[in-house]
């Protein structure tokens, strides 16, 4: 029997670092467990995880540690994209062997203006090298960062060639009409489309999409999950307005260091602040301004302080 597909809200889990910039495994596991407790899936090693500042070995080691700690893998979608076919295939195969529900795969992003044929060959080569029927690939369309868009034609070709392995997309175009066009074109064939943030989540679900993979799910997972459950009700519309306000606050700052500052503040754990260069931490004045705006919205992170206390022991 095939495993159930991933749906709902997922967080591109932020990666905590120690002072020497090595990954802080204990805090990473604690944050993953807290997110799961808030009904949130885990898109570890996504953009907001600083994944492309991590080596393949670091990503694989962290994933092993999370799985060994008993974090469930059914709603786990680690990022396995890389510019190198060899690395993308190695990290993807490793994730599949650990039993994850799927992998989120960037296109090779260094060379720009590459033809569709080149991208098709890249994904095809990775799928074949992994060589495992359990592989479920979610394509990662984030043209504003990668500079390499994933087109409708490419999706169509990949689905036709690998109907079992190519199963969905995260659309981080921040362009709802584009996201809806992907849903309209492919959802009927079992292609699962996630929005790249929570702002259009109710529209996504009503159109036939399956959820969102959002940076701010790192700090607001429970309310986003509640919004999804309340789809089609007045309460859902009310929740949508509120989570959009929280998202609006966070978009006023550099997202990754801002997320870490919020976790550090509400988790009473300043060890969350470090980021890897070339990113830099936000300053205290900026951080206090952000927290003040969140507090005015009645924002909380229930259970986080207790989760972080366990990690700090």
pLDDT tens for 271-297 read 999 999 999 999 999 999 999 999 999
- C-alpha 201/C-alpha 209 separation (Å) is 9
Q: Locate all alpha helices (DSSP H) within the chain, ordered by sequence.
A: 25-37, 56-68, 85-97, 116-130, 143-146, 152-161, 176-186, 201-207, 221-229, 234-250, 255-266, 284-296, 304-312
Q: Report the pLDDT averaged over residues 11-21.
A: 97
What pLDDT score does 295 carry? Answer: 98
- C-alpha 167/C-alpha 187 separation (Å) is 10
| pLDDT higher than threshold 50 for residue 256 | yes
What pLDDT score does 310 carry? Answer: 77
Q: Report the pLDDT averaged over residues 150-157.
A: 98
| pLDDT higher than threshold 60 for residue 19 | yes
What pLDDT score does 312 carry? Answer: 59
What pLDDT score does 309 carry? Answer: 85
What pLDDT score does 1 carry? Answer: 44
Q: Six-digit token pair at 165?
A: 């392995």
Res. 45 pLDDT band, cuts 50 70 90: very high
Q: Are 9 and 224 in contact (CB under 8 A)?
A: yes
Q: Report the pLDDT averaged over residues 82-98.
A: 98
What pLDDT score does 231 carry? Answer: 97
Q: Report the pLDDT averaged over residues 176-199.
A: 98
Instruction: Read off the pLDDT of residues 49-80 as tens digits, 9 standing for 90 and up.
Output: 999 999 999 999 999 999 999 999 999 999 99
Q: For the chain, what is the mean pLDDT?
A: 97
Residue the block writes with tokens 């944050």? 31
Which fold, 8-312?
TIM Barrel (3.20.20)
What pLDDT score does 98 carry? Answer: 98
| pLDDT higher than threshold 70 for residue 267 | yes
Residue 139 phi, psi (nearest 5): -70, 145
Q: Report the pLDDT averaged over residues 191-212.
A: 98
């Amino acid at each position: 029997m095939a495993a159930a597909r991933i749906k709902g809200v997922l967080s591109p889990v932020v990666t905590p670092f120690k002072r020497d910039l090595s990954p802080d495994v204990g805090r990473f596991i604690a944050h993953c467990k807290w997110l799961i407790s808030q009904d949130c899936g885990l898109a570890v090693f996504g953009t907001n995880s600083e994944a492309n500042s991590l080596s393949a070995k670091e990503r694989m080691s962290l994933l092993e540690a999370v799985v060994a700690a008993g974090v469930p893998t059914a709603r786990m979608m680690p990022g396995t994209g890389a510019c190198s076919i060899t690395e993308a295939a190695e990290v993807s195969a490793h994730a599949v062997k650990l039993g994850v529900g799927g992998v989120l795969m960037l296109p090779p992003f260094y060379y720009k203006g590459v033809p569709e044929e080149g991208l098709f060959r890249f994904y095809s080569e990775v799928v074949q090298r992994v060589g495992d029927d359990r592989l479920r690939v979610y394509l990662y369309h984030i043209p504003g960062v990668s500079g390499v868009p994933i087109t409708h034609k490419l999706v169509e070709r990949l689905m036709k060639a690998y109907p079992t392995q190519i199963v969905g997309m995260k659309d981080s175009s921040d362009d709802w009409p584009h996201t809806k066009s992907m849903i309209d074109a492919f959802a009927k064939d079992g292609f699962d489309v996630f929005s790249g943030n929570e702002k259009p989540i109710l529209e996504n679900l009503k159109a036939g999409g399956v959820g969102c993979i959002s940076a701010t799910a790192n700090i607001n997972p429970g309310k986003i999950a509640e919004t999804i459950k309340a789809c089609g009700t007045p309460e859902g519309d009310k929740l949508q307005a509120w989570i959009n306000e929280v998202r609006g606050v966070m978009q006023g700052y550099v997202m990754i260091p801002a997320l870490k500052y919020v976790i550090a503040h509400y988790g009473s754990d300043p060890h969350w602040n470090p980021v890897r260069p070339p990113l830099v931490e936000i300053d205290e004045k900026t951080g206090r301004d952000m927290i003040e705006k969140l507090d005015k919205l009645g924002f909380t992170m229930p259970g986080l302080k207790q989760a972080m206390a366990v990690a700090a022991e």
